[in-house]
Structure 1
Amino acid sequence: QPIETRLVMLQTGMRAPMGIKVKGQDLQEIESFGVQLEGILKQVEGVKPQAVFADRIVGKPYLLIDIDRDRLVRYGVTIEAVQRVLSIAIGGIPLTETIEGRERYGVRVRYPRELRDSPEDLKNIYIPVEGGNQVPLGELVNIRYEQGPQVIKSEDTFLIGYVLFDKTEGNAEVDVVENAQQAIQEQIDNGKLIVPKGVSFAFTGTYENQLRAEETLLVVVPLALIIIFLILYFQFRSVSTSLMVFTGIAVAFSGGFIMIWLYGQDWFLNFNFLGENMRDLFQMHPINLSVAVWVGFIALFGIATDDGVVMATYLTQAFKRNTPKNIQEIQNAVVEAGEKRIRPCLMTTATTILALLPILTATGRGSDIMIPMAIPGFGGMLIALITLFVVPVLYAWQKEIQLKRANR
C-alpha cells in the first residue's frame, strides 16, 4: 500500500488516484469552494463517499508578534535589536561545538522552555534599552494568535487546493469522472454552486493516462487492422479471399466482448468443481474496457486469422490443382479441404486457449493487468472456431458465382 500510494503521488501529485485542482488567488476562497465540491462529489454515482476530502487549507494557529514602532521610538530601541533578542531567546543561537570522540555536537543557547512556552511568557522577555535599562517585550509588541494556512501549494503561479476522491469497486475511472463533471455542471447551471471570481477548477488523476491511452488506441487499432489486411492480401493476392479470412477478426472480436459480458454475470460458471468455485478460480468480476483489454484485442486480431489462413491456403491450392466444372464438384472440393484442415485448425485454437488458462487463473503480482489482456483472447478464440465453417462457405459461394458467370 505505501508503494502504491507513492506511485499515485508521483503520477498525479496528490494522495489519491483522482481529484479536482482548485486554483485561485485567495486561500480562504479556495478552501470554501473545495468544501462545496466535496459535498457534491459525495452524492455522485460511482464515487466512494468516505474517500472524498477537500483540503482544509486555513486553520493552523499562528503566533504573530507585531512590533509597535511608536513604542520603540519612545524607548529608543531599534527593530533589529528586538528581532535579535527574539531570535536568540526563542530560536537560539549556535555558541560553540563540543567534540565527543568522532562525533560533534553544536551548543545552542536560548531561553529555557518554561520562559518561552506561552504568549504570556514571551511578554516577560526583557529587551535592553538606552541607559542600560530593560523593558519587557510586552511593552514593545502585540502578541496574538491568528489562523493561517497549514501548507501553501502553488501551480502555474496560482495558489492551489485539492479535492480528493476515489471510485467504488466495479466502476471505471473515466466514467466516474464524467459523472462528477456532469453533477458539478448541473449545480452550476442551476445556480446552486457559484464559482468565485478568480477561482477555477479542473479534474486530474490517473484517469488522464487512460484518456491519453485511448487517443493512442484510436490510431493503433485501425493501423493494426490495416496491416493485417495487407499481409493477407500479399499472401493470397486476392481482395475477396483476404476479406473472407478477415471475417475471422470480426467473429473473434464479438467473442471477446461476449466473454467480457459473461465475466460480469453472477450465474456464469457459478458452481463448484473439486471443492473449488469456478468464479473464484478464474477471478470473475465485471471487466471495464481498459487499456489492457484493448491490448488483448490487438493480440487477438493477429491470432484470429490463423485458422482462416490455414483453411483458405489449402482451398486455394486445391482449386488450382483441380478446377471444378460444376457446383457439386465445388462443394465436394470445399468439404474435402475442410475435413483435411480442420484438425490443424483445432490444434492451433486449442493450444492458444490452453496457454491462456494459467494467465486467467493467476493471482500473483501483475495478474490485475494480465487477466484483462487474456480475456478477449480466450473468448475470441472460442468463438473463432466458427471461421472453420465461415471461410469454406464463403469460398464455395465465391467459386459458384464465378462458375455461373463463366457459363453465361
Structure 2
Amino acid sequence: QPQLQIAIDRGAAARYGINVQDIQDTIEAATKGRAVTEIFEQERRFNLVVKIGQPGEPAARLRDVAVSAPNGERIPMSQLAEFSRTDGLAEIFRENNVRRLSIKWSVRERDMGSLVNEAMQKVEATVKLPPGYRMVWSGRFEDQQRALSRLYVIVPLVVFIIFVLLFGAFNSMGDALLIMLNLPFALIGGTLALYFWQSNFNISAAVGYIAVFGVSVLNGTVLVASIRQAFADGLPLREAIVRGCEIRFRPIIVSAIVAVIGFLPAALSQGIGSEIQKPLARVVIGGLISSTALTLLALPAVYALFAARRREPEPALPPAATS
C-alpha cells in the first residue's frame, strides 16, 4: 500500500528554534485532526476535533503547512521535514503487543501431523530468522496438538474407570480383564477402516475410538453377565457359554447393525464439514464390526479357557476305614 513518510529534520528544527513535538502536533492536526475539547449532550460525550483544511493534493498541502517559530516567523513544513513516497504494509497485526505476520496454507490428501512435521524440518533447514524473530506453528495444528495432549490423559483415565466399574460389577478381576479384551477388538476394526477408506487419523477419529470403546465394553458386559447367570442356574460351563451367546446374540447384532446404518451417511458424506464427520463415523463403523464379531466368536472361547483354568479340581476323599 502506498505510504507517505515524513522524516523530521532535527537540525533544521534546531536552527529555527522549533520543538520537534510542535512539528508532530502540526502534522497530526493537518492529517487526522486534533481533539481540543469535549462536547456534552446529556449523558453522551463527543470530542471536538480541529483539522487544517486546505485545498489541493494531500502531500502538497502538508509541505505548505507552516509552523510558528519562537520569534513569530512562519516556517513551511517543507523546510523542516523530508517527504517521500514508499510502499508499506496495508495492515499490521499484533499479538500480545508483538507484531505478527501470518502465512496460511491448507492440507490436502495428507494427515496434518506428518505434513506439518515434514514442513517444520524443511523450514528449519532453509530459513534462518534474524535475531528477535520467532516462528510459531499454530492454527488447526496447534489445536490438534493441544487436543492430543489432553487425550493422552483422558483415554488412559477412561480405560481405568471402565476397569474399576467392571470390577465393581462382577467382583472378579478376571472377568473385568476379559471384558477389557473388547478394546483391542474395537481398535483393530477402527484402524482397518481408516486404512481401507484412506482416511487420516485426527481428533474426530480419536473421539470415535472412545465412543466405540464404550459400545464394545457394553456388549462384552452383557454377554459375560448372561454366561455367568446361566452358569449360576446350574448349567455346565460349556452349555452356559452356549446359552449366554444364544440369549445375547440377537441384541448385540441388532444394536451393531443399527449403529452402523446410522453412521453410514456421515462416513460417505462429501459436503461441508465432512472432513470432521468421516473419520469419526468410519472408526465407529469399523470398530463395531470387528468388536461385534470378535465378541461373539473370540470372547466366549477365551472365557471358556480362563474359566476352565480357574476351576480347581475337588480334592479326593480318603478311603473309608474298614473293620
* TM-score normalized by the length of structure 2: 0.75
Q: Which residue of 2 aligns with 1:389?
A: 297
- The one-letter amino acid paired with 2:280 is M
Q: Which residue, out of 210, 216, 219, partners 2:150? A: 216
Q: Which residue of 2 aligns with 1:300?
A: 212
The higher-RCO structure (CA 8 Å, 6+ apart) is 1
Query: Could you tell me whether the CA contact under 8 Å between 1:307 and 1:388 is conserved in 2?
Result: no
Query: Could you tell me whether the CA contact under 8 Å between 1:122 and 1:137 is conserved in 2?
Result: yes
Change (3 A) 1:62 1:316: same
Q: Which residue of 2 aligns with 1:374?
A: 281
Gaps of 5+ in 1: 1-55, 96-105, 188-192, 265-285, 325-329
Matched, 1:349 2:256: yes
Change (3 A) 1:70 1:383: closer
Supply the distance in 2 between the matched residues of 1:344 and 1:81 (Cα, whole angstroms): 86
Q: Which residue of 2 aligns with 1:27?
A: none
**In the TM superposition, what are the counterparts of 1:150-165 in structure 2 within 5 Å?**
150=89, 153-155=93-95, 159-165=98-104
Per the TM alignment, residue 155 of structure 1 is displaced from its structure 2 partner at its CA by 4.7
Q: Which residue of 1 aligns with 2:135?
A: 201
Matched, 1:321 2:233: yes
Supply the distance in 1 between the matched residues of 2:31 and 2:217 (Cα, whole angstroms): 78
The farther-off stretch of 307-316 and 365-374 is 365-374
Supply the distance in 2 between the matched residues of 1:215 and 1:109 (Cα, whole angstroms): 56
Change (3 A) 1:366 1:155: closer
Per the TM alignment, residue 183 of structure 1 is displaced from its structure 2 partner at its CA by 1.5
Higher strand share: 1
Per the TM alignment, residue 107 of structure 1 is displaced from its structure 2 partner at its CA by 10
Matched, 1:182 2:121: yes
Query: For 1:204, what is the secondary structure of its paired residue?
Result: coil
Q: Which residue of 2 aligns with 1:18?
A: none
Percent identity over the alignment? 24
Supply the distance in 2 between the matched residues of 1:221 and 1:131 (Cα, whole angstroms): 80
Q: Which residue of 2 aligns with 1:69?
A: 13
Supply the distance in 2 between the matched residues of 1:94 and 1:315 (Cα, whole angstroms): 85
Query: Could you tell me whether the CA contact under 8 Å between 2:6 and 2:84 is conserved in 1?
Result: yes
The farther-off stretch of 177-186 and 219-228 is 177-186
Deviations 1:286-310 (A, max 9, x none): 2x22222111111111100233222
Supply the distance in 2 between the matched residues of 1:197 and 1:107 (Cα, whole angstroms): 42
Matched, 1:360 2:271: no
Matched, 1:226 2:160: yes
Supply the distance in 1 between the matched residues of 2:244 and 2:71 (Cα, whole angstroms): 118
Query: Could you tell me whether the CA contact under 8 Å between 2:31 and 2:51 is conserved in 1?
Result: no
Supply the distance in 2 between the matched residues of 1:304 and 1:213 (Cα, whole angstroms): 24
Query: Could you tell me whether the CA contact under 8 Å between 2:4 and 2:83 is conserved in 1?
Result: no
Supply the distance in 2 between the matched residues of 1:344 and 1:143 (Cα, whole angstroms): 86
* Aligned alpha-carbon RMSD (Å): 4.0
Supply the distance in 2 between the matched residues of 1:293 and 1:133 (Cα, whole angstroms): 76
**In the TM superposition, what are the counterparts of 1:2-401 in structure 2 within 5 Å?**
60-66=3-9, 68-69=12-13, 71-72=15-16, 110-114=52-56, 116-119=57-60, 122-124=62-64, 137-138=77-78, 140-145=79-84, 147=86, 150=89, 153-155=93-95, 159-187=98-126, 193-264=127-198, 286=199, 288-322=200-234, 324=236, 330-361=237-268, 367-384=274-291, 385-401=293-309
Per the TM alignment, residue 175 of structure 1 is displaced from its structure 2 partner at its CA by 2.8
Gaps of 5+ in 2: 37-47, 317-323
Per the TM alignment, residue 205 of structure 1 is displaced from its structure 2 partner at its CA by 2.4
Q: What is the total number of aligned residue pairs between the two structures?
A: 306
Deviations 1:211-266 (A, max 9, x none): 111111111111111122222222222222222222122111111111111111xx
